[in-house]
A = this chain, B = another copy of it.
Amino acid sequence: MCGIFGIFDHLEASNHAYLGLYALQHRGQESTGIVSSDGKQLHHYRQMGLVSEVFTKDLLKKLSGRNAIGHVRYSTTGSSELKNAQPFVADYANGMISIAHNGNLTNAVPIRNKLESQGAIFQSNMDTEVIVHLIARSKEKTFLDRTIHALRQVEGAYSLLFLTGKEMVAARDPMGFRPLVLGSLKDSPVVASETCAFDLIGARWIREIEPGEVLLINDAGIKSFKPFPHKQLRQCIFEFIYFARPDSFIFNHNVYEMRKTFGAQLSKESPAVADMTIPIPDSGFPAALGYAAQSNLPFELGMIRNHYIGRTFIEPDQRIRHFGVKIKLNPVRGLLNEKKIVIVDDSIVRATTSRKIVGMFRNVGAREVHVRISSPPITDPCFFGIDTPKKSELIASSHKVKEIQKFIHATSLNYLSLEGLKKCVRGEEKNFCYACFTGDYPYPFQTEI
């Protein structure tokens, strides 16, 4: 998964790009980069690591100019290497061009094969690089038209920012898989994956960039284009379930409220006789609140999160049980003794963490541990930008709910139903992609021509 941010015509463009990426850090922690434009030249810096570790005052000063785009990345396609860090920068016949991409193209492989057969060379193994080649080969006259020409040839999920010497272009694929929002910082246009980036820099939210929309931002202002044929929307429901920050407003909804609704619906479908509701920090919080309110069970912070998780934690003695989770979470011992508890989390992937968490609660004396998951079972990998593991590693692809319940030693286990989930986005059911729960993909993923 990735996060992107752009700002146009602002005195402190790269400083604000830094802040915007900082707010979007949850969308990718592997690498980050910023490209700025001073009206003539592009300046860029990319590195593995967190935004706050990668950039220094000196580096930001070198990223001069009034326009900037930036990127945080957690690998989807492309291996975890510096060459795959974005924004991607290249030189072509019309000058320098830079691109930041959130999403995943499903026909990148056949396009790349064709380009290579025509003599193209590739520097990265990101799907994003094919877009740059398609732009460079386009015979259209303007950068905007070359970009549209290129995007007409690709399929899949893309929320994109382009930066050239004088222009910024924002684009969102016709199905609208990934969020992309438009705002303004005083008079300077800003674009970001989520509104939390606007909040940090004090920018004002204007609107979603619409699915299939291309925005051209330059000294003449902002112009909107809708160059692609209309398609049925397929916004990623998982952004609501887990990925986006709860304080963001995307797909025209407040994420926090949506998660609470999921929890409330889950409670309606799968109540439990218990003493309290406990969220798994921090992603399970809003759904647990919804569950607790709906079911009238006391909401308790029965699991505490350590705030000082280091990146280089040294593994001790293997005999200590549940270790990976233990350095992050610890149950509140006295609260739980002999209690029947409901724990609420957003999703289960491999179930190994859930198993450890249930074990930790049982260790401190919980008598019954009812697990409630505020999404349906994940049975299929995502080809549109979410970094789920392959199908064989998804426990729900091969195990029934009862089997998973047994594996994690839960007293009971219930997922939110797909119907329940759809009910929560009332009236917009058709506008979302549920492929990770159904395997029903809007596009096939092509690996060969």
In the complex the two chains form, what is the Cα distance from A363 to B127 in whole Å?
Answer: 41
Q: Which of B56, B83, B200 contacts A330 (CB 8 A)?
A: B200
The winner among A19, A57, A97, A293 for most chain B CB atoms within 10 A is: A19
From A10-18, A223-231, A410-418, the one touching the partner chain is A10-18
A285, closest chain B residue (CB): B301
In the complex the two chains form, what is the Cα distance from A15 to B313 in whole Å?
Answer: 11
Chain A residues numbered 162-197 whose CB sits less than 8 Å from any CB in chain B: 195-196
Q: Is the CB of A196 within 8 A of B308?
A: no
Q: Please give the distance in Å from A197's CB to the nearest CB on chain B.
A: 10
Q: Is the CB of B247 within 8 A of A304?
A: yes
Q: Is the CB of B308 within 8 A of A29?
A: yes
Contacts A51-B308, A52-B313, A289-B300 given; 19 further ones with Cβ under 8 A? A18-B314, A50-B308, A51-B310, A52-B308, A53-B312, A90-B121, A91-B116, A92-B120, A93-B113, A93-B116, A97-B121, A120-B121, A196-B304, A199-B331, A254-B333, A256-B332, A256-B335, A257-B335, A282-B305
Are A254 and B332 also in contact (CB < 8 A) when A26-B307, A120-B92 are? yes
Q: Which of B90, B314, B335 contacts A55 (CB 8 A)?
A: B314
User: Which residues of the partner chain B approach A53 to less than 8 Å between Cβ atoms?
Assistant: 310, 312
Chain A 103-147: CB-based contact to B (< 8 A → 1; otherwise 0): 000000000010011011111010000001100111000000000
Chain A residues numbered 311-332 whose CB sits less than 8 Å from any CB in chain B: 311-314, 316-317, 320-321, 326-327, 330-332
Determine whether A441 belongs to the interface, using a CB cutoff of 8 Å to chain B: no
A139, closest chain B residue (CB): B119
Are A137 and B125 also in contact (CB < 8 A) when A25-B308, A56-B314, A310-B51 are? no
Determine whether A334 belongs to the interface, using a CB cutoff of 8 Å to chain B: yes
Determine whether A201 belongs to the interface, using a CB cutoff of 8 Å to chain B: yes
Q: Is the CB of B249 within 8 A of A122?
A: no
A246, closest chain B residue (CB): B304
User: Which residues of the partner chain B approach A280 to less than 8 Å between Cβ atoms?
Assistant: none
User: Which residues of the partner chain B approach A314 to less than 8 Å between Cβ atoms?
Assistant: 15, 18, 55-57, 60
Determine whether A377 belongs to the interface, using a CB cutoff of 8 Å to chain B: no
In the complex the two chains form, what is the Cα distance from A97 to B121 in whole Å?
Answer: 10
User: Which residues of the partner chain B approach A304 to less than 8 Å between Cβ atoms?
Assistant: 196, 245-247, 256
Q: Main SS of chain A's interface residues?
A: mixed
Q: Please give the distance in Å from A175's CB to the nearest CB on chain B.
A: 25
Determine whether A220 belongs to the interface, using a CB cutoff of 8 Å to chain B: no
Question: What are 8 A-B contacts defined by CB distance under 8 Å?
Answer: A52-B313, A53-B312, A55-B314, A92-B122, A93-B116, A246-B304, A282-B305, A289-B299
Chain A 233-253: CB-based contact to B (< 8 A → 1; otherwise 0): 000000000000111010000
Q: Which of B122, B289, B321 contacts A301 (CB 8 A)?
A: B289
User: Which residues of the partner chain B approach A307 to less than 8 Å between Cβ atoms?
Assistant: 25-26, 282
Determine whether A365 belongs to the interface, using a CB cutoff of 8 Å to chain B: no
Determine whether A22 belongs to the interface, using a CB cutoff of 8 Å to chain B: yes
Q: Please give the distance in Å from A128's CB to the nearest CB on chain B.
A: 12
Chain A residues numbered 20-42 whose CB sits less than 8 Å from any CB in chain B: 22-23, 25-26, 29
In the complex the two chains form, what is the Cα distance from A52 to B315 in whole Å?
Answer: 11
Q: Which of B56, B137, B196, B331 contacts A119 (CB 8 A)?
A: B137
Chain A 245-287: CB-based contact to B (< 8 A → 1; otherwise 0): 1110100001011000000000000000000000000100110
Q: Is the CB of A330 within 8 A of B136?
A: no
Chain A 90-104: CB-based contact to B (< 8 A → 1; otherwise 0): 111100010000000
In the complex the two chains form, what is the Cα distance from A113 to B189 in whole Å?
Answer: 34
Determine whether A442 belongs to the interface, using a CB cutoff of 8 Å to chain B: no
Q: Please give the distance in Å from A239's CB to the nearest CB on chain B.
A: 16
The 6 A-B pairs of least Cβ separation, nearest first, read: A52-B310, A119-B137, A254-B334, A93-B116, A25-B308, A90-B121
User: Which residues of the partner chain B approach A308 to less than 8 Å between Cβ atoms?
Assistant: 22, 25-26, 29, 50-52
User: Which residues of the partner chain B approach A317 to less than 8 Å between Cβ atoms?
Assistant: 12, 15-16
User: Which residues of the partner chain B approach A195 to less than 8 Å between Cβ atoms?
Assistant: 333
A202, closest chain B residue (CB): B320
User: Which residues of the partner chain B approach A310 to less than 8 Å between Cβ atoms?
Assistant: 22, 50-53
